[in-house]
Structures are given as structure tokens and as C-alpha cells.
Amino acid sequence: MNLKQRTAQGLIWGGLSNGMVQLLQVVFGVWILNIITPEDSGKVAALVIFSNIASVLQESGFTAALANKREPTHEEYNAVFWFNILVGIALYVILFLAAPLIADFYNEPVLCPLGRFAFIGFVFSSFGTAQRAYLFGHLMVRQTSIMQMASIVISGIVGICLVYAGLAFWGLAAQSLVYVASVTAFAWLFSPWRPSLPAVQEEVKNERVKSEKYKLQGLYAPKSKSYFSLFTHSLFTLLRPARQMFGFSSKLLVNSLAFQFNNNAFGVLLNRFFPGGYIAGIYDNARKWNDRAIATIGGMVQGVAQPVLRESVQDASVAGILNTFRKLLRFTCFVSFPCLLGLALIAEDFIVLLVGEKWHESALLMTMLCVYGAFSPVVTLYSNLVISCGRSTINMVIGLVNCALVWGGIIVLHALGYKLTAMVIFYVALNIAWLIVWQACARRLIGLSWLHAFKDIAPFFVFAFAVMVAAYFTTRAIPISWLRLFLRILIAVVLYVGILWIARARILRESIDYIFKRDSKQLTNT
């Protein structure tokens, strides 16, 4: 199967499977949200940033570094595997000891035992990083999707049972823990790669043989190395490939840390600004629905973008790289804008009907976040381009500056007395505007002009936005929530597909052709 076919298959299968993954999360999420309170959700949200940062430190950008290599060796996978285990255990010990400080920071004593329980997750995760990197680098999208769906079902059942038993936020933490453990187990099942241990016993044997040779020759035998010394030497030898990759991966590590600080800024600051967890819980509910929608699109793009762009960078001219990137960009916009803007359109009815009136305040926040969410997969694609071109330093600097602006802006707005809504508007506007920075990088790296980027992005946004406005005003007078929700979705889908069909958008027609296998054209020929 050639690169175009693998790209098309990865995008289509990734889209369908990611949709199923998010649908399963919606089903279990709705079930749980109808039981717990915003305060329960806020308590768990307070710990998310610590778990995410620990996971990033543990992974250290090695997944992307391995995917960026043409043919990673066993030694490189092995080094990443053992590095992750060592770092995972060390980080858990550090966070276990720091749990009382975290509880004091939020003035929530229960976060100490809750954190110590929840943080076990990234120890489990450390045993599967190399396996997941193998699946990612080899475009094994189908296996990855099965892994995610099965893990969601298993962890969702556990979470629901515990929440129904009255364990509330403990049930949420356990659900996350079981999910990580299940993903690791399935990664081992689907990945053919297996780790190997340092051959310490063999080195001990060699040392003894060498000593015997000296004695037989009547020479003074140097003192044999201790078992610990040999083990340490073997361990450093084993980890050498990881150290060699760290120059590239360290910049991705810093960028990933910046992303986590950016994405979890509200989770930290709202719990600090507004004790009790209610405001943080309301925001967290809005963010989760937006994140799930982004993950459906972004996961589809992320699953193929970097491996495909990597092969283009290694095998094609600049013109070929530009052509590949523009095809991916158009497809991303074609899918992302209607999905996320459509979710913004139905946010209020969606929240109230699915999870109850107690979460109604999340609806407006969800609407605003979905506007940014529409652009998030596009940003992910640009970021993958920069990484695939080997310019991880650029990626790192962009992430750090963006993170500093987000945190600084939220803190200043709170100090000036602005409410949560103003903070979210600032966050959304800044992250959309940041696309300009990414485009400037793409122009420098592969020659993507501002005009071409505008032509690839703007039509899909304009069509999607116009469709959502039309659907809103057409149905705003309908008093029945479920009927209004259904009609808005129906009208938006019909109008969007109809407009693109009338406009003879090739990407729509060839996507349909690929799905139904009516001809041999591939999606990436658009």
C-alpha cells in the first residue's frame, strides 16, 4: 500500500473510529455527569494538570522523535521503554511526596489522598509508551482505535459502578486509572515490538572468563567489576539511543509542557481563584465536550499527519511537501469547521438535555470554546509540519510564548475584576489569532503563501459559519428543546453538504467516493 493509500485509509478510518471513541466517551460521560456535581468534577480537574505534566515529562517527546525517523531500531525503542519506566516511577515518588503541598495550594485536604491515587496512572502508562509509539509510527490507526474504544468501555463501566456506589470524585479518578492501564495492556497486545533487558549476567560471565585468562597466562588479573557497576554500565549503554534523540525530543517536551499549561490554565487558576470547585467544575464540563470534539478531528489528523509529512520531507521536493500539506489542510478544515461550529450551535440544548439543568452555565462557555476548537486541528496540523521539518526549536518557542500569554492574560483579567466569560473570550481570541504565527512558519519552511493558506482555510469557515447562522435563526422560535436540537443538526448537515456539492468541491466528492468505494480515486488526490 503506497503513501497516498495509507493516508486516505488513515484519515477515513481514523475519522470513523475517533468518532466512535468520542461517542463512547459521550455515553459514559453523560451517565456520570447526571450523578456527580460540579464540585466533584472541579476537584478532579484540579489534579489533571499535574498528571498531564508528569505524563509529558515521562514521554519526553520520544513518540514524535521515533515517528520522525525513517526506520527506528530496536535499540531506540528499547531505550525509550526503559527510560519511561525509570522516569515514571521517579515522578510518582515526587508527586506522592508533593501531594500535601498540592492540597494546601487549593485548600482542599481531600486532594492529598486523591492525588496519590490518581497519579498511579502514569506509572501504568510508562510501560506502554514505546508500544504506542510503534503503533503511531507505523500508521496502525485501526489497532489504536480498537485499543481506545475497548479501554473506554472497560473504564467507563468501572467509573459508573463506583459513582453509583457513592464514591463520586474517587470514581472519576478510578475511571481514569483503569483507562490508562487498559490502553497499556492493549498496546502490548497490538504492538509486535518487545523490550529486552541489559545482558548483565553475560557481562559478569565475560568478566570471569577474562580474569581466568589472565591467571592462566601468569599475569596479574585486574579487579573484576562489581555486579552493580556492570548493571549501571549496561543501563547507560541501553539508554544511549534515548540520549541521542533527546536533542530533538527535548524541544518537543518543552512544547508539550507549554501546551499542557495552556490547556489546563483554567483548571489550575479557577480552583485557586474560586475555592470549592463549583466554577472550575462548570468550566471543566464545557472544556471536556469541546476537547472530545477536537479529539475526534484532531486524532484523525494527528494519527497520520506527522508520519505522512515525515515521509514527504524525506522523499519529496519542497513542492511535493507543500502539495501534501495543502491537501491535509483542506481536508482538516472541511471536517473541523462544520463539526465544531455545529457543536457550538447546539451547545445549550445539548447540555440541558443530556446532563441536566445543573450544568446549564456550561453552555455559553462551551459555545465559545467550540469556536476556538474549530481551529485547533488546523493548529495541530501546522505543528506537525514544523516537527516533520526537524524544526522542533520553532515549535518549542511558539508554545512557550503562547503559554505565557494565556496565563498572564487570565491572571491580569482576574486581578482587574473580570468574570470567567471575559477570560474565556480572551483565551479563544488569542489561540485563534495564534494561527497567524503558525502560518508564518509554514511560509518560511515550505513556501506556503498567505494567499494559498487563505484559499485553503477561508471557504470552509465561511460556508460552515453561514450554515450555522442560518440554522440558528431558522429554528430559534421552536420551543421544544429536543426538536430544536434535531432540526438544527439536520439543517446544518443538509446545507453544508449541499453548498459544497453545488460549489463542486472536489474534496467532498472524492471523500464520498472513497468511503463508498465507487471508484479508485484516493482522498489525497484532491
Phi, psi of 73 (to 5 degrees): -90, 165
* Residue corresponding to grid cell 510503534: 134
Residues present in the chain in total:
526
Q: Which three cell numbers stand for residue 136?
A: 503511531
Q: Quickly count helices (H) and strands (E) in the chain.
A: 22, 0
pLDDT of residue 519: 41
Q: Enter the pTM of the model.
A: 0.70
Q: Are 468 and 342 in contact (CB under 8 A)?
A: yes
- Give the pLDDT score at 209: 58
C-alpha to C-alpha distance for 102 and 407, rounded to whole angstroms: 19
Grid cell, residue 369, equals 470554546
Closest CA to 435 of 412, 469, 458, 459: 458
The predicted structure's pLDDT at residue 511: 64
Domain segments of the chain as ranges: 35-219+229-250
364 grid coordinates: 455559553
Residue type, 383: S
Dihedral angle of Cα 340, 341, 343, 346, to the nearest 10 degrees: 180
Rounded Cα distance between 155 and 101, Å, is 29
Helix axes 227-263, 38-59, angle to 10 degrees: 130
Mean pLDDT of successive 10-residue stretches along the chain, which has 526 residues: 52 59 76 80 78 67 68 82 85 89 86 88 84 80 81 88 84 87 91 76 59 59 54 69 68 73 81 82 87 75 56 60 84 89 93 86 92 90 80 80 91 91 93 92 89 91 93 92 92 90 76 52 41
In whole angstroms, what separates CA 272 from the centre of its chain?
25
pLDDT at residue 522 in the model:
43
What pLDDT, on a 0 to 100 scale, did the predictor assign at position 107? 83
Please tell me the distance from the alpha carbon of residue 176 to that of residue 151, in angstroms, as a whole number: 10
Cα-based angle 236, 238, 242 (whole degrees, multiple of 5):
90
